[in-house]
């Protein structure tokens, strides 16, 4: 791909599987290789390889006196603005700041991210960096405006169970806390998730097909239409952050009312 | 309260806040004291005090050869059935097995649980214990049938933003992965969540009111109607785990179609 059709971009791949030979880790490695072959710059946060600390605690704040009440919100803001966060957190914040797009590669565990990845968000997306009074307001502009975000998730269950009427809930609804609550909240433009289902015993043929589809999604990382969530400041919400009556598309219901 | 009105029960309180003097930790301590005063047996998992390990990795499986591919699902099942999980996991499984009800007390971080609590679920709710072929089928009977579950969550945002049309999504939808995907999936009967909003600067008066309301919810832990999610085996779903056409209540939409 020439620079004329797709200029070089900076992409952060965060992956969260304990086994480097897993399907999940294989997809992460595939993404890195594919994006580099397309001329992009790629940085990787392989959370298990990094032995990423998942838990927010007083050790995250080198200046925090051990005997003082730890108010996480206030401590995050103070340490972030003073440049006094633990070095592992600061390094990840640099990567997010640097990136034009963030890809989260993880196995779905209990209808959510593995704890190590949730802990990456809890610790890296601090008040003062990802949200709070020191950065642009959430839901549209946000701290990370202009960046794109792609979830690439492997799922043991079959697709039908995550379909519109599937018992697990629609994939879009199950991932809403991440897609809308993390990405869109911080101003990132979330793409439709890339999901591989039925991964407990995935035949080689289906795995090859999944890689081809993933390649297509990666090629369109900067051109696909993001999920058109509504901006908070766009006139659709009242001062109490409730969607105004009648704004939603005819027939839209559930969490879809927040999609334009 | 006499045994005639509410026989003594066994309750596990799992709490997940790094600061013992926080509102959250105060609510956890309140629940423990209140339930004990009512004659119940209470056990506590204070995850930060326990320095709970949040991340699933090879160390969870003492028998797993370091050089062998770690298939988490298979390793969980094998170690669980052989009684060869790491001791901290086995101890928590004993508590869940023992309990008639489980209360999860946590602050909402990024529209979900803190990583340390997600890691309690990831590590404790193993294949062979909480799901999989070795236990009763999910969604109704489940591994933990007969038990009750209560979320007690503190939320920085105001309530309107989590209302039916609130920008963050309805609280029931945001907590669906936990209420339906963890509790109901494993056969526990989830109660309506107990939520305290606006906790960033909660006035003492509102805190006292929140404690009184929490006390009422704790008193009704075994008598309140659980959220009436649909059982998988009750005839409402097809063989691909999709809700049959027309089964939902008139007007029900979004994730509510899975509520009777």
What would the pLDDT profile of A185-229 be if each residue is shown by its tens digit? 999 999 999 999 999 888 989 999 999 999 999 999 999 999 999
Domain with CATH 3.40.50.360 in chain A: 10-229
- In this prediction the pTM is 0.97
Quick one: pLDDT at residue B5? Answer: 57
The mean pLDDT value for A13-36 works out to 96
Interface of A with B in 9-68 (CB under 8 A): 18-19, 21-22, 48, 52, 54-58
pLDDT digits (tens, 9 = 90+) for B237-255: 999 999 999 999 888 999 9
- What pLDDT is stored for residue B6 in this prediction? 60
Check pLDDT > 80 for residue B192. Answer: yes
**pLDDT tens profile A78-111:** 999 999 999 999 999 999 999 999 999 999 999 9
Structure tokens at A241: 């952050």
Looking at residues B133-156, what average pLDDT do you find?
97
- Residues pairing with A106 in the sheet: A153
Query: Which of B183-205 are b and which e, b meaning 16 or more Cβ less than 10 Å from the residue's Cβ?
Result: bbbbbbbbbebbbbbebeebeee
Any CB–CB contact under 8 A between A74 and chain B?
no
Query: Which residue does chain B place closest to A242, by CA atoms?
Result: B166
Q: Which of B107, B181, B258 sits opposite A111 (nearest CB)?
A: B181
- Note the pLDDT tens digit of each residue in B193-218: 999 999 988 898 999 999 999 999 99
pLDDT band of residue A3 (cuts 50, 70, 90) is: very low
Q: Which tens digit of pLDDT belongs to each residue from A29-41? A: 999 999 999 999 9
Between CA B49 and CA B56 the distance in angstroms is 19
pLDDT band at A2 (very low <50, low <70, confident <90, very high): very low
User: How far apart, in Å, do the first and last CA atoms of chain A sit?
Assistant: 33
pLDDT of residue B3: 44
* CA angle centred on B122, ends B116 and B123, rounded to 5°: 90
Q: Tens digit of pLDDT for each residue in A98-151?
A: 999 999 999 999 999 999 999 999 999 999 999 999 999 999 899 999 999 999
Residues of A with CB below 8 A from B54's CB? 54-55, 115-116, 119
Band the pLDDT of B2: cuts 50, 70, 90: very low
Q: What pLDDT does residue B21 have? A: 93
Q: Residue A5: pLDDT band by 50, 70, 90 thresholds?
A: low
Q: Please say if the pLDDT value at position B223 is more than 90.
A: yes
ipTM (interface pTM) = 0.96
Contact flag B55-A125 (C-beta cutoff 8 Å): no
Report CB contact under 8 Å: A113, B118. yes
Q: What is the DSSP letter of A193?
A: P
Q: How far apart are CA B227 and CA B140, in angstroms?
A: 12
User: What φ, ψ does residue B149 adopt, rounded to 5°?
Assistant: -140, 135
- Kindly state the percentage of chain B with pLDDT values over 90: 93
pLDDT per residue over A151-185, tens digit each? Answer: 999 999 999 999 999 999 999 999 999 999 999 99
Smallest Cβ–Cβ distance between B109 and the set A70, A122, A167 belongs to A122
DSSP H stretches of helix in chain A: 23-37, 72-81, 87-98, 115-124, 171-174, 176-178, 204-219
Residue A235 pLDDT grade (very low, low, confident, very high; cuts 50, 70, 90): very high
How far is residue B10 CA from its own chain's centroid?
15
**Interchain contact, B19 vs A232, CB within 8 Å:** no
Question: Which of the residues B77, B110, B114, B257 would you substitute to probe the A interface, choosing the one with the greatest number of A C-beta atoms within 10 Å?
Answer: B110
pLDDT the model gives residue B66: 83
Contact at CB, A111 and B256, closer than 8 angstroms: no
Count CB pairs under 8 A between chains A and B: 210
Chain B residues lying within 8 Å of A86, measured CB to CB: none
The per-residue pLDDT for B7 is 76
| A1 pLDDT above the threshold of 90 | no
Residue B112 and residue A200: Cβ atoms within 8 Å? no
Disruptive mutation site among A177, A245, A250 for chain B (greatest number of B CBs within 10 Å): A177
By Cβ distance, the residue of A55, A111, A256 closest to B177 is A111
What is d(CA B115, CA A183) in angstroms, rounded to the nearest whole number?
A: 17
Q: What pLDDT does residue A241 have? A: 97
**CB-CB contact of A120 with A47 (8 Å):** yes
Domain B10-229 has CATH 3.40.50.620: no
pLDDT tens for each residue of B73-129:
999 999 999 999 999 999 999 999 999 999 999 999 999 999 999 999 999 999 999
Q: Do B173 and A114 lie within an 8 Å CB cutoff?
A: no
Angle separating helix axes A115-124 and A87-98, nearest 10 degrees = 80
Look up residue A100 and give its DSSP letter: S
User: Which among A55, A113, A253 has CB closest to B116?
Assistant: A55
Across the interface, do A69 and B180 touch by the CB < 8 Å criterion? no
């Amino acid at each position: 791909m020439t620079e004329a059709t797709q200029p070089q971009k900076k992409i952060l791949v965060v992956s969260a599987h304990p086994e480097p030979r897993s399907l999940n880790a294989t997809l992460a490695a595939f993404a890195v290789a594919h994006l580099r072959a397309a001329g992009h710059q790629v940085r990787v946060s392989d959370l298990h390889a990094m032995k990423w600390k998942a838990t927010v605690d007083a050790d995250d704040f080198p200046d925090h006196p051990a005997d003082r009440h730890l108010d996480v919100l206030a401590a995050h803001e103070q340490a972030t603005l003073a440049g006094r966060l633990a070095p592992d957190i600061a390094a990840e914040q640099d990567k997010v700041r640097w990136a034009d797009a963030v890809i989260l590669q993880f196995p779905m565990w209990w209808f959510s991210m593995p704890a190590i990845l949730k802990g990456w968000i809890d610790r890296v997306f601090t008040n003062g960096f990802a949200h709070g009074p020191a950065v642009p307001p959430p839901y549209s502009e946000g701290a990370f405006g202009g960046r794109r975000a792609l979830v690439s998730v492997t799922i043991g269950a079959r697709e039908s169970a995550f379909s519109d009427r599937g018992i697990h809930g629609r994939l879009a609804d199950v991932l809403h806390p991440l897609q809308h609550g993390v990405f869109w909240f911080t101003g990132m433009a979330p793409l439709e998730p890339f999901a591989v289902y039925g991964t407990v015993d995935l035949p080689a043929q289906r795995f090859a097909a999944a890689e081809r589809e993933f390649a297509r999604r990666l090629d369109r990382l900067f051109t696909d239409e993001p999920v058109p969530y509504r901006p908070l400041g766009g006139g659709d919400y009242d001062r109490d952050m409730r969607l105004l009556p009648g704004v939603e598309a005819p027939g839209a219901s559930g969490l879809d009312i927040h999609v334009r």
